[in-house]
Structure 1
Amino acid sequence: MNSSLVIYNTLSRKKEIFTPLNPPLVGLYVCGPTVYSDVHLGNCRTFVSFDLVFRYLLYLGYKVRYVRNITDAGHLEGDRDEGDDKFAKKAKLEQLEPMEVVQKYTIGFHDVLRLFNTLPPSIEPTATGHISEQIEMIKKIIANGYAYEVNGSVYFDVEKYGGSNDYTILTNRQLEDMLNNTRELGGQEEKKGRLDFALWIKAKPEHLMRWPSPWGVGFPGWHIECSAMSSKYLGDQFDIHGGGMDLAATHHTNEIAQSRACNHTSPAKYWMHTNMLTVNGARMSKSSGNGFLPQELFSGDHPLLTRGYSPMSVRFFMLQAHYRSTLDFSNEALEASDKGYKRLMSAIALIPKLKISKTSSVNIDDIRNRCIAAMNDDFNSPVLIAELFEVVRLINSVYDNKTSINSADLEALKVLVNDFVYNILGLTDDSNSTNDDLSKIMEFIIKLRNDAKSAKDYATSDLIRNGLQEIGIQLKDSKEETLWNKL
């Protein structure tokens, strides 16, 4: 095990040395999607970030139980239990049964994450598959005096809980300020306090998703599902709980309160949150018209895009920003990232062509140690990528016979690339899937150029090279062959 890994803990608001509760097992819970619409890019950024965390913990030798839930119960739209049922609304709009909506968008979610090459979680539980666990947890919270039933609905008593517990421990807000700033909601008179949230909601006659309970027919509130499922599969307390930063103030705050009220302990030792997405400096949102669906980013079919980008280019782009940093989308940033990704893959493709020397002027162990140091610093993927571009420089230098490498260091280089590029960053070379036809064309063009050079027709040879450069294709000559890559 590597004991030097540090994680920024939202709970303590500082970096802490990672010490698993039950090594070598690590419990990781990440809030998954609500599957009533297409997965948006903010979700993808979160899941790619925690895929990096999952992969690196595995690299360190831990056995990781990664649980990512699917929210498929018909909870309401607002954090304070107001509004319409999301699934019923979508089902009526698309003329489907609610579970058809769930199936459709769950499949779409998995398809998108597969394109981003994320590893599947160890367990992917659904809210509807764990209704009994949620009911049992609610019963315990009531028995412990932190919840009350009114007309078939059950609410968590925030002010009573806050009397002996720090309700805002995750966000460091003042409970009194929250009470003063919370508006009165129409139709919510049955709640004792304005911050009280629903654990169980009585179903109206027209509500489509409903289950029997000790308090009548109804459905669970949003927050209780994650508490029930995380405790079932990871225990009352586990190692890491993750999600987007937008979940911290309400959903994760209420998860902590529920778990402490039920199990008398905080659910997770470390809380990790990914930052938001922006577009050209403005917050990404559907209402602003600057939101992207992943498929729009891949196809380029969006008013703010000049072209499409491959899933691996987008993954590389996401990993070039630290998970706690704002990630700003722009055509310029995506173009630069796409070029960087292709430069990395082109260098890796040269490795089988490197000449072995008896001596070596490289230090692969030093590079590996710097890569590990980057990841041990709160999963700092931007610094790791910077170190990998030093690897790119080294590969090109060896290929150009400016640096020597022996067989042992070459094997160590191959292992380094496999570990950090493929296994940890989760990148794959997707150029082969799109460039098969182009490869055949380039073979023909390179042959024409070589024929021109053999005939000492250097003007035609230069014309071909420069023309390809102008359209974004670079030629690289060596004594043995000419290679090409897209800029």
Structure 2
Amino acid sequence: MQLYQNQNIKIYNSLTGEKEQFKSIHEGSVGMYVCGPTVYSNVHLGNVRTFMSFDVIFRYLKYLGYKVRYVRNITDAGHLENDADVGEDRIAKKARLEEIEPMEVVQRYTVDFHNILNTFNFLPPSIEPTATGHIIEQIELIKTIIDNGFAYEVNGSVYFDVHKYNESNEYGILSKRKLEDLIHNTRELDGQSDKKNPQDFALWKKAEPAHIMRWPSPWSDGFPGWHLECTAMSTKYLGEHFDIHGGGMDLKFPHHECEIAQNQAAKGKSPVNYWMHANMLIMNGKKMAKSTGNFILPNEIFTGDNPHITKAFTPSVARFFMLQAHYRSVLDFTNDGLLASEKGYNRLMEAVKSLSELKTSDKSSIDINAWQQKCFEAMNDDFNTPILIANLFEAVKYINQIKDGTVTITKEDLETLTKTINDFTFDILGLKDDTIQTNTGTDKLSGTVELLIKLRQEARANKDFALSDKIRDELAEVGIKLKDGKDGTTFTTN
């Protein structure tokens, strides 16, 4: 029996605004699509936070025994500036500014994206399709939408007819926006005169003479609309109707709203059962923006080379920090938050490493099975990583109590505790023990600190507490923390 058969997962569905019991379309299998990056610049920390949320969801579903097909695309064409239907392609603009080929831009920032996600210990998706690799599928999809009467061609461009669609469907069903309100709040922009209505969006755009990225189509040499690629690729690899579609909150409208409309217009059905949206990341209580200097790149967290942080932090500390906020909550990225997370992360790693040293008894005075169930319940409740982490720290308390002899545990319960805390910490949350590199240090550092610990012990034996405290305090100042216990003194580095 697979673990998922005993678990009752509830997912907050953005479509209904409620937590719903998760039931996959096909028993034992899950299809999940997440909108990936537009690769024209270094990956933004807010994007990392979104992809991290779905990495944990992917990990948990796999852990429960589901066969998960996780598709996350790469947008390498068609995404115009300001998410509009007019203007310059973001990748083509970067290529023009740097005087390189658009596909050089794509390659450079796709590599950066993968490197950053690998550093944060993300699992790769099952399939990572690109927009440019699926031009034929997008053209065929447009043909179907035209044939079904929901799109029109004018001057080589093709537009989705939102008003026609809204006669028999509900445009705005996901974002809870009414077409009447959109009409009232829309002003006609230059360059939109080809459209029947300002709310219509591009399925195919005729390329201007200077536009580099172009492909032949029945309507013109041009390029697909941004929204179209996700409909084409998600349904190609997951079917016309699949389980989960995820992305950042900023994609709910218009991107995901347009995806629903395209699929409904082409296939006659809504594409997805559960729409999931990760909330935004802010920094020091404000929107993160390069223009204001309130900004940090993921790599700068690891090097400490940013004025908003006081030191470098390991990838696992940064990951641990982000997972302490629920994916649907706004996350405020601060130096103080990272410092606190580092302390908590080190406590957790220290406890996990000490599990093998715990002594067992013929009786347990703690209910490990009840604690284990609380860990599952946290993840089953819309993947609530903050509650899971709180439960892991409850286990840290148990471990310290077992060390001190104030509670007892049987060998069987210790095996359950060990497996569960390792599974949830490493397999599901995706943390790594970075302290293996930073806490033990080199042999020379370890030997030096051990010598200082020995000198401190001698000072204490001679009642020279001033020297003892001086050794402890000065080591702390350089990031080496001594911890006295029943079995002697150990050290960690921060």
TM-score of Structure 1 vs Structure 2, range by shorter chain: over 0.9
Amino acid corresponding to residue 193 of structure 1 in structure 2: N
Q: C-alpha separation between the residues in 2 aligned to 1:439 and 1:425?
A: 30
Q: C-alpha separation between the residues in 1 aligned to 2:271 and 2:367?
A: 44
Match of 1:256 in 2: 260
| Mean Cα deviation higher: 249-258 or 72-81 | 72-81
SS of the counterpart of 2:82?
coil
Match of 1:465 in 2: 472
Match of 1:330 in 2: 334
1:131-154 CA distances to partner (integer Å, 9 max, x unpaired)? 100011010000000001111111
Match of 2:293 in 1: 289
Match of 2:482 in 1: 475
User: C-alpha displacement at 1:83, in angstroms?
Assistant: 1.6
Match of 1:169 in 2: 173
- Verify the 8 A CA contact 1:2 1:60 in the aligned structure 2: no
Match of 1:33 in 2: 37
1:51 has 2:58 as partner: no
Q: C-alpha separation between the residues in 1 aligned to 2:388 and 2:189?
A: 48
Alignment of 1:186-201 (within 5 A): 186-201=190-205
Q: C-alpha separation between the residues in 1 aligned to 2:372 and 2:398?
A: 13
Normalised to the residue count of structure 1, the TM-score between the two structures is 0.96
1:182 has 2:196 as partner: no
Task: Count the aligned residue pairs.
Answer: 487
From 119, 137, 140, the equivalent of 2:141 is: 137
Q: C-alpha separation between the residues in 2 aligned to 1:477 and 1:75?
A: 58
Q: C-alpha separation between the residues in 1 aligned to 2:450 and 2:269?
A: 65
Structure 1 residues 204 and 415: CA distance shift in structure 2, 3 A: same
1:64-98 CA distances to partner (integer Å, 9 max, x unpaired)? 00000000114321333122121111112222211
| Mean Cα deviation higher: 308-317 or 74-83 | 74-83
SS of the counterpart of 2:209?
coil
| Mean Cα deviation higher: 384-393 or 464-473 | 464-473
1:213-271 CA distances to partner (integer Å, 9 max, x unpaired)? 11121111100000000000000010000000000010000000000000111111000
Q: C-alpha separation between the residues in 2 aligned to 1:305 and 1:466?
A: 23
Match of 1:420 in 2: 424
Alignment of 1:268-417 (within 5 A): 268-417=272-421
- Verify the 8 A CA contact 1:152 1:216 in the aligned structure 2: yes
- Verify the 8 A CA contact 2:40 2:94 in the aligned structure 1: yes
SS of the counterpart of 1:8?
strand
User: C-alpha displacement at 1:469, in angstroms?
Assistant: 4.4
1:243 has 2:250 as partner: no
Amino acid corresponding to residue 194 of structure 2 in structure 1: E
1:42-63 CA distances to partner (integer Å, 9 max, x unpaired)? 1000010001110111122111
1:234 has 2:238 as partner: yes
Normalised to the residue count of structure 2, the TM-score between the two structures is 0.95
SS of the counterpart of 2:388?
helix
Q: C-alpha separation between the residues in 2 aligned to 1:466 and 1:354?
A: 29
- Verify the 8 A CA contact 2:7 2:380 in the aligned structure 1: no
In structure 2, stretches of 5+ residues that fail to align are none
What is the identity percentage for the equivalent residue pairs of Structure 1 and Structure 2?
A: 61
| Mean Cα deviation higher: 26-35 or 459-468 | 459-468
Q: C-alpha separation between the residues in 2 aligned to 1:268 and 1:24?
A: 17
- Verify the 8 A CA contact 1:75 1:219 in the aligned structure 2: no
User: C-alpha displacement at 1:309, in angstroms?
Assistant: 1.8
Q: C-alpha separation between the residues in 2 aligned to 1:468 and 1:302?
A: 25
From 215, 219, 227, the equivalent of 1:211 is: 215
- Verify the 8 A CA contact 1:3 1:17 in the aligned structure 2: no
- Verify the 8 A CA contact 2:150 2:164 in the aligned structure 1: yes
Amino acid corresponding to residue 57 of structure 2 in structure 1: V
1:113 has 2:127 as partner: no
User: C-alpha displacement at 1:445, in angstroms?
Assistant: 2.1
1:329-361 CA distances to partner (integer Å, 9 max, x unpaired)? 122222111211111112112112222223322
SS of the counterpart of 1:485?
strand
Q: C-alpha separation between the residues in 2 aligned to 1:260 and 1:347?
A: 52
Q: C-alpha separation between the residues in 1 aligned to 2:68 and 2:259?
A: 22
| Mean Cα deviation higher: 29-38 or 67-76 | 67-76
Cα RMSD of the aligned pairs, angstroms, is: 1.6
